[in-house]
Structure 1
Amino acid sequence: MLIWSKGKAKALFKIGLSISIISAFMLLFTACVSDRNSGQSADSENSELNLAVTASINNSGLLEYLSPIIKEDTGISIKVISKKAEEAVKACEAGEADMLLINDKALEDKFVSDGYGVGKAELPNNYFVLLGPASDPAGISGQNCTAAEAFKKIADSKAVFISAGEGAITNKKEMKIWSSGNIKPEGDWYISEVNDMKS
């Protein structure tokens, strides 16, 4: 969802409108309420907006694509602050960033309910897909099973599972699925970070 701050409401609304139109994929976009923004005008040509985002969003190339469009449309330059989702939220809460762009609805909802964001508009949501090799070592393909059932098949067969690692939004979703089946993923078959493969 899109939420803009009190101090920069007009400019942030313009930016949000641009992103809402241009973005055709799943993101949460939030503006931070910060005392440092109070009374400041964001309409001057050389205005800069500090945007706290997760690394996955920053690495997607979206902001690199959108920034010049936003600059041309609003006169505002985007300064990206790339952090883990929780750290990005804290940056906004501390007034280090004007807007928040993450893909964690639970963090987003708490951020809003705690009073740090205002003027929200909905954007699309994330979808998570379980991918595996054509050899299908866990025997999941064609079984029409739930994610929890697929995870159980993976754990039972000890088929290699690669997690995005702690701190990633996909990892949080993954852990909820493991927990729903009372499974603790561990062992040689479970790779908690892609970097583990290099060791």
Structure 2
Amino acid sequence: MLKFLQGSKKTKKIGFKSLLPISAILCLVLTINLLSGCSQKPPSGQEAKGEPETGAKADEFIILATTTSTYDSGLLDVLLPAFTKKYGIEVRVVSKGTGQVLEIGKRGDADALLVHDRAAELKLVEEGYFTDRQDVMYNDFIVVGPSADPARVKGHQKVMDAFAAIASGGHNFVSRGDDSGTNRKELSVWKKAGIDASGGWYLSVGQGMGDTLRMAGEMQAYTLADRATYLSLKGSLNLEIVLEGDPVLFNQYGIMSVNPAKHSHVKYDSARKFIEFMMSPEGQEMIASFQIGGESLFFPGKGVAD
């Protein structure tokens, strides 16, 4: 449940010694990569091509560059076939972290973007790279960790206090380390808390959300995750939510098209149709009704926080 509270506390800058043997880290990274390769669905951070299984033949296609959280959650498996069936336009997906997605869009290598770094999005719209931006949906970030909760994160209401407890005890923390919206949020929390996130307790893996969660589960470590991906993988993870509801963890998603004034080759009209579909009552209702285990993963429109 989304519940945002007010206020925060800052802690002093601290650093800690290595706890995790490097050989164990390397073995774990290899294991996660092998497991990802066995999945039928391409792992987050890779390109997924092909016409959605709608039964309708697509007359053309657009490229959607999107954050891994929307891809890993399964939301696009619901939305894209409906769009293709209605408009006859196939959507080919490139799934990366938000930072990489924004760079893809700036280069003109996509037609539409679905990401979650509102401040960065608005800045790039102002600079002329993107247009037609809309607040399409929102959810929140959560801190997940082992059920034993050795850092006693559950006793805190503020994410900065929780991070301080993790760091001060040298408890293992897995960071996506991929310049995604989630990674940017995590790094901003460490910075605001005045904590030096380095040392053997802190592992930056350069992976998407799904693989990061799996790694944290194997290590019985803490991590910051978007709620949607966690809920979609919850049954296979040995992790639980240990902190939620801090207003700092609000997570707004935006959708926008690449500006044809910057890149004349982009399929602007088709990208506009996709944005209109996502913002239409039909698209917004599909977002609102998308659930796993009776829990909503996303909420339509703009949330309460800016």
Q: Is the 8 A contact 2:115 2:181 kept in 1?
A: no
Report the counterpart of residue 153 of structure 2 in structure 1: 140
Q: Say if 2:198 is the partner of 1:186.
A: yes
CA deviation vs aligned residue, 1:95-148 (integer Å, no higher than 9, x gap):
22110111222221122111233333322234111122222211222343x111
> Does structure 1 retain, via aligned residues, the 8 Å contact 2:100–2:179?
no
Higher relative contact order (CA closer than 8 Å, sequence separation 6+):
2
- Gap regions ≥5 residues in structure 2: 1-57, 206-211, 220-306
Which residue, out of 76, 85, 103, partners 1:63?
A: 76
Query: Contact 1:46 / 1:77 at 8 angstroms: preserved in 2?
Result: yes
1:169 Cα deviation from its structure 2 partner:
2.0
Other-structure match for 1:85? 98
In the alignment, the residues of structure 2 paired with residue 147 and residue 176 of structure 1 have an alpha-carbon distance, to the nearest angstrom, of 11
Q: Which has the higher strand share?
A: 2
Aligned residue type for 2:168: D
Match of 2:64 in 1: 51
Structure 1 unpaired stretches of 5+: 1-44
**Superposed displacement of residue 182, structure 1:** 1.5
Q: In the aligned structure 1, how far is the partner of 2:87 from the partner of 2:191?
A: 45
- CA drift of 1:186 comes to 1.7
User: 1:134-173 residue pairs with structure 2 within 5 A?
Assistant: 134-144=147-157, 146-173=158-185
Residues of 2 paired with 1:131 and 1:158: CA distance?
16
Contact 1:163–1:171 (8 Å) recurs in 2: yes
Relative to 1, partners in 2 of residues 1:170 and 1:119: Cα closer, same or farther, differing over 3 Å?
Answer: closer
CA apart distance, 1:52: 1.2
**What's 1:130 paired with?**
143
2:123 to 99, 102, 110: 110
User: 2:153·2:165 contact (CA, 8 Å) conserved in 1?
Assistant: yes
- Provide the alpha-carbon RMSD of the alignment: 2.3
TM-score, normalised to structure 2's length? 0.45
Alpha-carbon separation, structure 2, partners of 1:78 and 1:88:
16
Q: SS in structure 1 opposite 2:93? A: strand
Letter of the aligned partner of 1:52 in structure 2? A
Say if 2:63 and 2:111, in contact at 8 Å, map to a contact too: yes
Cα distance in 1 for partners of 2:162, 2:130 equals 38
1:139 aligned partner, one-letter code = R
The structural deviation recorded for 1:78 is 0.7
Given the superposition, is the C-alpha separation of residues 68 and 143 from structure 1 closer, same or farther in structure 2, using an over 3 Å criterion? closer
Separation in structure 2 between the aligned mates of residue 115 and residue 93 of structure 1, nearest angstrom: 9
Identity %: 34
Check conservation: 1:86, 1:107, Cα contact below 8 A: no
